Each structure stands twice: as structure tokens, then as C-alpha cells.
Chains A and B, each alone.
Chain A
Amino acid sequence: MSKFTEKDKARLDELISRYPTKKAALLPSLWVAQEVYGGWLPLEAMDEVAQHLELPTADVQGVATFYTMYNKEPRGQHAIEICHNVSCMVLGAEQLIQHCERKLGVSATGETTADGVFTLARVECLGACCNAPAVQVGGTYYENVTAEQMDALLEKLKSAPSEVVTPPQSAMPEMRKF
């Protein structure tokens, strides 16, 4: 069952037009697919991208599985990603992770709460070393996070809609088709 609408396909076409080859549009197209398929990439999503980009499905799967931000499993409504690399580590990231694990009752290995609201994961360097510890939810960074702030954030997110990463939109005037 195809999930891509005509509008989605037009978005892929616009992405393709930016590069000398169709294949180059693969990464941004997978972002589109991930958005269309509700935050993760089932095999059908990769197939649809492969079809539109005229690539072997194996090629698309090979690329999608290489990058950690293309989710191969469904995730909760909000993915709480806590940086645990050295700068964050020496400023209390581990305490923050354990705090969240206790609070949500899941392990920070990418587990999702039973109600499907939160997925908790520790991630490698977020590049917010100067404001450690750092947390990312959707596309938003939270920095210098304390346990109290984390509690307030979790409370706030419970009723908030999930934030979806939308792929880059071109600025070239003649390409604004959608």
C-alpha cells in the first residue's frame, strides 16, 4: 500500500532537482519517508523511496540502516535523547539518565513506555558540549538540564504533539511547487 501522496512525490521531485543524480536525493528522501510513515522507516517506506528514485531496494535499505537517525522500529510520541559523551558525562549526564529511567520505568537503551508516549535513549555527542548536560527531543535541544527541569519537561511533553523533523525545503524561487 503506497502511503506517498502526489504532494509527497512532488517533494521528492524537488529534492531530486537539487542534485546531478537521482541517487543523491536519497538521504533527504528518507527523511520525507520517515515523516510520512509516522517517525520510522518500515520496509514499505524504503521500497517506496527506492521506486521513486529508481534505485535497487537493497541500495536504499543499505543506506537507511547505516545511519542511526533513520528509525528501524516505531518510537514513542516523544523521543527523549540524552547525550552521554564526556562533556555531558562529567557534568552529570549519568545521573540524569538514571533519573529518567526511574521516572519513566524504561531503560535508556531506546525503550518505549507502555503508554507509547516516551522513548528514552542515550545518544552520542549532540554537539552541545558547552551547555552540558544536553537533551534532545524531536528537533529541539534542552541544555544545562537539571533533574527538576527534566521533570517539568516530561510533564509539559505529555500533552504536547510530537515534533516531526521535516526535510529541507529549497529556497530557489522556481522550485516552490508545493
Chain B
Amino acid sequence: MSEQPQLLYKHRHVPGINTIDVWMAHGGYENFKKALAMEPDAVIEEVKVSGLRGRGGAGFPTHIKWNAVPKNRDVEHYLIINADEGEPGTAKDRDLMNGLPHLLVEGCLISMHAIRASKCYIYIRGEYIEPWKSVQKAINEAYEKGFCGKNVLGSGLDFDIYTHLGAGAYECGEESALMSSLMGERGMPRMKPPAAPLPMISGAWKRPSVVNNVETVSTLLPIIELGGAKYAEIGYGSPRSRGTKLFSISGHVEKPGVYEIVLGTPFSEVLELCGGVRKGHTLKTYIPGGSSMGFAPPTPLDYPFDYEGIPANTKTLGLGSGGLIVFDETTPIVPITQRLVDFYHHESCGKCTPCREGLNWLHKIYGRIVAGAGKESDIDLIWDICDSIRGKSFCALGEGAIWPVMTSLLLFRDEYLAYIRGGKDAMTDLTTIGL
């Protein structure tokens, strides 16, 4: 098995690592001091050399975002941390915030220095009360030690970090919707470039804003510590997927959990790390990167697991946010897909017609099929509705909603047919799932 260096999780199991004293005893805030001694552009250069790509889902190169921010301090710049983790299957940021809150706070400070921001808002989803308390406590400790506040460490720079609690809306994980929500509005997405200015030029409150994921800014610590070039040497697969990434592995595996894995590790090894499919069962399908990335077939398994590695012929989109859900042969695919359709239907913000109406229609059709009144023509109808949402919804939610549906149709059309033809008898009693 390939070696899995633990960079983010280096101190994960040290008792009391969530307190600033233990964190500092293990080298905490040294990387921030190191970064603070560098010019902001030099920090961005390290990130560029490291090849860091955003760990929130889209995999956009971080240095491009950062470089687009104006290089002056005439107006206030904002760093906004996206901690609105709500994708079914994804639970990595929660683990980071609960266990290693200072990793996030220190990462925020380094990022704020790099993009010349003096204020940072950490937007945490409303359900995450425990992670929020953990992060707020870490921020308080950082203020007490003088890493936050006015004239930090005599640098003449101010760094203020605030937490901002969401209130239950998956849509707010989308960059522009998150900024709307931060500004006290309904969490609905806004026009994106090229039709609108880049958020890095005119974002929250029309000021330069960078939105980064929790894991992205946390990854800055190993980058500053090792140096960008050294960090870029880590990784087995594509030259465009470097470093380590957290994967939350759930479902039918022996040891579910959050794992730090080197990008490009063969997928079969990733499965091995978490103990493989539960004993006595075989792999039916899996969702590699959070539910919006769709189902993948059980073969091949030996491809490099990174941003580029997911084989195109699986029709699955990619790595996403790293939420790997594994399903064994006992899983009925129709109710599972119905669950995801209902989730996206529930969470659609209603701003654009394809998503609002399309998902409502899908929700009704799946309800009909699972109630035993499906028609064979429903399969084509589902496909057509998905096709009408694909590429036509305002933001990625609509797109994300149809991928599990379309991939389930591509892979398990027979199961749909059996379900529909069998009527009520073929339905799965949901209370038998999990036995």
C-alpha cells in the first residue's frame, strides 16, 4: 500500500490539540509567523507552486482566485470561509472544525495576509453547533494570544475573524448564495462572471472577497511549512492534482471515517484503507465525491483517485468535495435515488425555473414509482427532465441534482424496469435497509 503522509491530520489524535496551548506546543502559529514575515505576493507564489486546488468541490486553483484580488489596501478586502458543508456524504470540514479548530484559524490568518484582508467571516452551517463552538473558542484564544485583533505581532496589520451561523439551507454552500446569506438576505445565487464582475473584485458588500473552503485554507499550513515546491512533490496521479485531501468515507464499509489520502492513490487502495466493503458483501456502486457527482460502476477500481483520475467512461463527474459513499449489493437503487431527488427538491432555492419545476416534477415521478404506480415511460420522462435541467439551471444545484439520477439510469436501468413492472411487490421495505 502506498504511503499516506498525514499533513492536516498530523496532530489529530494529540489530546487537547483543540486548545491553543497544546496547539502551540506542537508548532502552532509558527507557520503564520513565517507567512507574516513574507510579502503577500510571496505567499501566493508558494501556493501557486504547490498546485493547491480548492478543496470545496470545484477544484479551482487557489492562487488564481487570490491573484485576482486587487493588490492594494484602499478598500477593505474580505476572506469568507465556506463552512456550509451540507452535501450528502461529505463530513470532512466538521471533523476539522471539531478536532483541529486552530488549523482553520491559523489557515485563515495566513490567507488573510496573502489577499490583504483585514476581516474574515467563517460561514458555518446552522446544524453545526458543536463545530461552531469549537471554532469560536479557538478564535477567542487566538485573540487572547494576540494572533487576532489590532496590529498583530507588531506587523501593523489588523486581522479580525468572526463566525457567522447559517440557518439551514444547502443552497448557501454555493459561493454567491453564501455571500447573499452573509449579507442578511435569502441564500439565493447571483449572476456569475463573465456576466457579473468577479467576486475577487466586487463580492460581498461590493468589495473584494475571496470565498475558500475550510479544508483549502487549512492546507496552507503544510504548504508554508514544507514550501510550495516540496508540497507539489506529494501526489501520485496527475500533475494537476497535488498534495493530500480529506475524504469522508461512509456507507457500507468496515471502518467509515474521515481519512487523509494522497491525491492519486489508486481507488482500490482507498477502499482498502477503510477496511473495504462490509464483510460478506460485494460492492454494487459508489458515489465518489458527494451526492452531486453521481454513481460510479464497481469496475474499474484501480484508477488514480484525484481530480483528473475518475475514468470518463463511468459518466461520473469527479472528485467533488471528497464524500465517498459506498453501497453494497443489498442497496435498492430506486429508493436511494428518490432520497437524493427529494433532498435536492427540498433544498432548491426556487430562483430559477428549470431547477424549481424540474425537481418538483422528478420528486412526483419518483414518489409515484416507489408507491408502485410507475410507468415504463417514466424512465424516458425522467431522462428528458434531467436533460432540460442540465446546463440550464442558474447555479450548480440543479446540475448536481440530476447527476445521481442520470448515472443511476445509465447503470441500473434494469432495476428501474423491474421496480416498475413488479408494482408494489417489487418495492423495498425501507425498514429492511441496513439490516
Interface centre among B88, B89, B129, B142 (most CB of A within 10 A): B88
- Contact A63/B143 with A91-B434, A129-B250, A169-B136 known, Cβ cut-off 8 Å: no
**Which residue of B is nearest A87, CB measured?**
B250
Q: Is the CB of A130 within 8 A of B256?
A: yes
Residue A5 is within 8 A (CB to CB) of chain B in the complex: no
Q: Is the CB of A66 within 8 A of B186?
A: yes
Q: Is the CB of A92 within 8 A of B434?
A: yes
Residue A178 is within 8 A (CB to CB) of chain B in the complex: no
- Contact A63/B256 with A84-B339, A124-B343 known, Cβ cut-off 8 Å: no
Residue B69 is within 8 A (CB to CB) of chain A in the complex: no
How far does the alpha carbon of A138 sit from the alpha carbon of B435 in the complex, in Å? 29
Q: Is the CB of A91 within 8 A of B251?
A: yes
Chain B residues, Cβ within 8 Å of A90: 251-252, 327, 331, 336, 433-434
Chain A residues, Cβ within 8 Å of B287: 86
How many residues of chain B are within 8 Å of chain A by beta carbon? 72
Q: Binary interface profile of A, 55-88, with partner B (CB < 8 Å = 1, else 0)?
A: 0000000110011111000000000000011110
Shortest beta-carbon distance from B369 to chain A in Å: 17
Which of A128-149 touch B at CB < 8 Å? 128-132, 136, 138-141
- Contact A171/B148 with A67-B126, A132-B250 known, Cβ cut-off 8 Å: yes
The size bracket of the interface on A is: 35 or more
Residue B340 is within 8 A (CB to CB) of chain A in the complex: yes
B431: contacting residue among A94, A123, A124, CB under 8 A? A94
How far does the alpha carbon of A136 sit from the alpha carbon of B251 in the complex, in Å? 19
Residue B277 is within 8 A (CB to CB) of chain A in the complex: no
Shortest beta-carbon distance from B91 to chain A in Å: 5
Q: Binary interface profile of B, 338-361, with partner A (CB < 8 Å = 1, else 0)?
A: 011001001101000000000000
Shortest beta-carbon distance from B211 to chain A in Å: 15
Chain A residues, Cβ within 8 Å of B14: none
Which of B157-214 touch A at CB < 8 Å? 160, 162-170, 181-187, 205, 207
Q: Is the CB of A127 within 8 A of B94?
A: yes
Residue B149 is within 8 A (CB to CB) of chain A in the complex: yes
Shortest beta-carbon distance from B96 to chain A in Å: 12
Q: Is the CB of B169 within 8 A of A67?
A: yes
Q: Is the CB of A172 within 8 A of B143?
A: yes
**Which residue of A is nearest B89, CB measured?**
A129
Q: Binary interface profile of A, 141-176, with partner B (CB < 8 Å = 1, else 0)?
A: 100000000000000000000000101111111000
A68: contacting residue among B128, B164, B168, B252, CB under 8 A? B168
Q: Binary interface profile of A, 101-139, with partner B (CB < 8 Å = 1, else 0)?
A: 000000000000000000000011111111110001011
Residue A23 is within 8 A (CB to CB) of chain B in the complex: yes
Chain B residues, Cβ within 8 Å of A95: 431, 434-435
Residue A24 is within 8 A (CB to CB) of chain B in the complex: yes
Shortest beta-carbon distance from B155 to chain A in Å: 18
- Contact A27/B184 with A21-B205, A132-B250, A169-B136 known, Cβ cut-off 8 Å: yes
Q: Is the CB of A129 within 8 A of B336?
A: no
Chain A residues, Cβ within 8 Å of B132: 168
Q: Is the CB of B130 within 8 A of A140?
A: yes
B127: contacting residue among A23, A25, A136, CB under 8 A? A136
**Which residue of A is nearest B124, CB measured?**
A168
Shortest beta-carbon distance from A63 to chain B in Å: 6
Q: Is the CB of A129 within 8 A of B185?
A: no
Which of B387-435 touch A at CB < 8 Å? 430-431, 433-435
**Which residue of A is nearest B160, CB measured?**
A172
Q: Is the CB of B340 within 8 A of A93?
A: no
Q: Is the CB of A127 within 8 A of B325?
A: no
- Contact A85/B343 with A129-B90, A130-B258, A169-B136 known, Cβ cut-off 8 Å: yes
Query: What are 30 A-B interface contacts by the 8 Å CB criterion?
Result: A23-B183, A23-B185, A66-B349, A67-B169, A67-B187, A69-B168, A86-B325, A87-B325, A89-B336, A89-B430, A90-B433, A94-B433, A95-B435, A98-B431, A124-B86, A124-B347, A125-B87, A125-B89, A127-B91, A127-B94, A129-B250, A130-B258, A132-B256, A136-B127, A139-B130, A140-B129, A168-B136, A171-B142, A171-B143, A171-B148
8 extra interface residue pairs, beta carbon distance < 8 Å, beyond A31-B167, A168-B165? A25-B184, A27-B165, A85-B291, A85-B339, A85-B343, A86-B340, A93-B434, A136-B127
